[in-house]
Structure 1
């Protein structure tokens, strides 16, 4: 009988203990668990936000660095392109200057050659001119010494330019006598040309 009472008392004690645990778990344990959970969540979020902020900041720095590097690269590319163009232009100007110097040298050499040729030809030309003048004056002397009638007969067969040149170098009295024996129309034309002031002997 005593044993049964003890068992009943022990069973009652267990029930009371179990109910107490249930009540404690219901009212107190959830808050503790929730607080721990929220604390862990808040900490995780804070850590997450912190890491995200750090990551965002790092990415921002990287973007800024990338942008600055891109700008620098662009500036460098522009400057290099300009330098290349300037260098190319400088080379072209140098080449043009060299070409002009060569052309100038060739022109100077050609001028020197022409001057040398002129000097070489000056003597022969002067000699030829002198000989031509000598032959012309010889003809003047020949026709001046002829009888006017015979001279007129020979001069009528020549072209008028040659006759005018010969008459311009002869004495006027001799010319008048020869013209009197020449054909009238030709004599008139020659006389008109002899009266012009631009008659010159070779």
Structure 2
């Protein structure tokens, strides 16, 4: 709750400053505080509230980290990585979090319900990509990370209709000094097919 509260207070404070903008030193104090906060992040070399997502320094990773990925499964059984533009604002780490819950916590009914959500949205997004149409919300999205990928019409040509989703667990082990990846392994956890109402756990992969 602290993180969103900081941003709410920031905007409320800005509104308050605007209300008293004609008062002596009001704008100067606000600008001084704003730029001092930005400068402090650079000087101390670590994230500080309220700009924890605006800092320029990379976060050190744990020695071992686990992620969860969603992949689309087409009618022939071929897999395609999930383009999370299909389900805004559930993107990036949120997709990994939901996928992990689907693998470890959800009941089969919950898995089927969430699987249908991802499947239907992926189909709609695929149609938009193949037709070349971009939604208004997609056009208003801020720039993505440089290593981000998106489906292309040419890539989708090689796949039949989507029928299911499959959750993978990926474990990444880093070197002691956090400068290299020593191991990057994945294993399938569960396949969810809302079309025929089946949920298959891949216990043999454990």
* TM score, norm. by length of structure 1: 0.21
Instruction: Answer with 1 or 2: which has the greater Rg.
Output: 1
Q: Which has the higher strand share?
A: 2
Greater relative contact order (Cα < 8 A, sep 6+)? 2
